[in-house]
Amino acid sequence: MLYLGRLIINGAHRLRGEVVISGAKNAAVAIIPAALLVEGICIIENVPNIKDVSILIRTLRELGAKIKYIDDTTLEVDCSEVTCYTASYEMVKKIRASCYLLGALLGRFNRANMAFPGGCDFGVRPIDQHIKGFEALGAKIDIQHGIIHAVAEKLIASQIYMDVVSVGATINIMLAAVKAKGTTIIENAAKEPHVVDVANFMNSMGANIKGAGTDVIKIKGVDKLTGGTYSIIPDQIEAGTFMIAAAATLGDVTIKNVIPKHLEAISAKLSEMNVNIEDYDDSIRVWVDKKITKANVKTLPYPGFPTDLQPLIVTLLCKAEGTSIVTEGVWDSRFQYVDELIKMGANIKVEGRVAVIEGVSRLSGSQVKATDLRAGAALVIAGLISEGVTEIHNSEHIDRGYENLEQKLLQLGADILAVGKSKNKNNGVVNLYDSVEAL
């Protein structure tokens, strides 16, 4: 069955009320493969019910893992009997995070075979830093017919300087090094909250990782990871999405189950734009009582403004007073969605990695197409602040990374309808288009 989803939004409703944030996608998609390193039972709590997670669960099961849901957001994962170290193209083509299978299988079996991973298209997405790290640990890497073969007689700790700050390479090297003999040092490591979460997960299973969250991570190899219980952090990007949606609709929303520290770059930028922000221990209130004004934004690795919110902040700036400049500092090509905003009346010019946004007084509902996950979320916000009806095609991209986005927006007063979804009483919403070949 091939199904492409749609979201239909009747715009111009202010969002008001409370919303609860789910577990972090980019932590979950690393922690689930990391469970391959554990020879015991892992209980993983606060798992978001999103498409990328269901793809990874299926992939781990194909490798021989026993995985079951204990409740809607808790997984029991037992990888003790996994013996397979080959992840085929069929398994890994759908999502980028499947690249973590390489580090996890290498760390577990001293060998791994994996096809190149798929994922959102932001231009070139190299994995040279992952490979450099594996080689430094003593693995031989051979690429044949699109398959990466990694093999090591024994993994031995090393000092690795990352040429670029990479979330994926930092996590993958941690996975491969967790049982390597000696102390591995990753310098110029990524500091994202999900990097810290993966380290905390592995430490709770018996690993010895220090420094995650700084740019030097030290991993002292241990003999075995033995199992335990861990709860995934709240999703920084989902929280940022609701913050921007609340601001864009001139609403008043309290966003619960967040870590305000992870949201500082977003809060600071929204405050600069006249949006009111109030932090509490584990929630944040966002409301608007003044005209939203222009801002310049540059996306950077954490603690900078996250690239994954770039399409959303651009959308907010479409109706802000004045001219804003947004510079993409992480990916080569992350403005493909701008053409869709222009169809809705936005005034945006893109030159390479820079977008110049001239605020307009109105956007109008249109037929648009989501090109990737965050671009899809940006179009949802555009639909919420447009006059008339917006129909977002290919909305299955959004389900890859947002749990029940339309349900949460409905509760906040949005007029939004998802076409092509069904309810699963054990496990929240599931997609009817589970068998879509390439998302």
- Provide the binding-site residues for ligand EPU, judged by CB under 6 A: 26, 29, 96-97, 120, 125-130, 164, 166-169, 190, 307-308, 330-331, 373-374, 401
**Nearest distance, CB of residue 115 and ligand EPU, angstroms:** 16
**Nearest distance, CB of residue 136 and ligand EPU, angstroms:** 13
Query: In whole angstroms, what is the distance from residue 175 CA to residue 219 CA?
Result: 10
In order of 9, 123, 207, the CA distances from 150 in angstroms are 47, 25, 22
How far is residue 214 CA from its own chain's centroid? 20
Q: Residue 115 or 363: which CB sits closer to ligand EPU?
A: 115
**Nearest distance, CB of residue 251 and ligand EPU, angstroms:** 24
**Nearest distance, CB of residue 332 and ligand EPU, angstroms:** 7
Q: Residue 91 or 169: which CB sits closer to ligand EPU?
A: 169
- Catalytic residue (one of 42, 99, 120, 318): 120
Which residues, including other chains, have CB under 8 Å from residue 292's CB and lie 6 or more apart? 247, 250, 273, 274, 275, 316, 319, 320, 321
235 φ, ψ (degrees, to nearest 5): -80, 115
CB of 350 within 8 A of CB of 328?
A: no
CB of 171 within 8 A of CB of 100?
A: yes
Torsion of CA 165, 171, 175, 181, to 10 degrees: 30
131 φ, ψ (degrees, to nearest 5): -65, -40
Query: Do strands 74-78 and 367-369 pair parallel, antiparallel, or not at all (unpaired)?
Result: unpaired
Q: Which residue is nearest to ligand EPU (CB)?
A: 168
Q: Residue 78 or 399: which CB sits closer to ligand EPU?
A: 399
Whether 120 is a known active-site residue: answer yes
Q: Residue 50 or 270: which CB sits closer to ligand EPU?
A: 50
Q: Residue 180 or 373: which CB sits closer to ligand EPU?
A: 373
**Nearest distance, CB of residue 140 and ligand EPU, angstroms:** 18
Query: Which active-site residues does the annotation give?
Result: 120
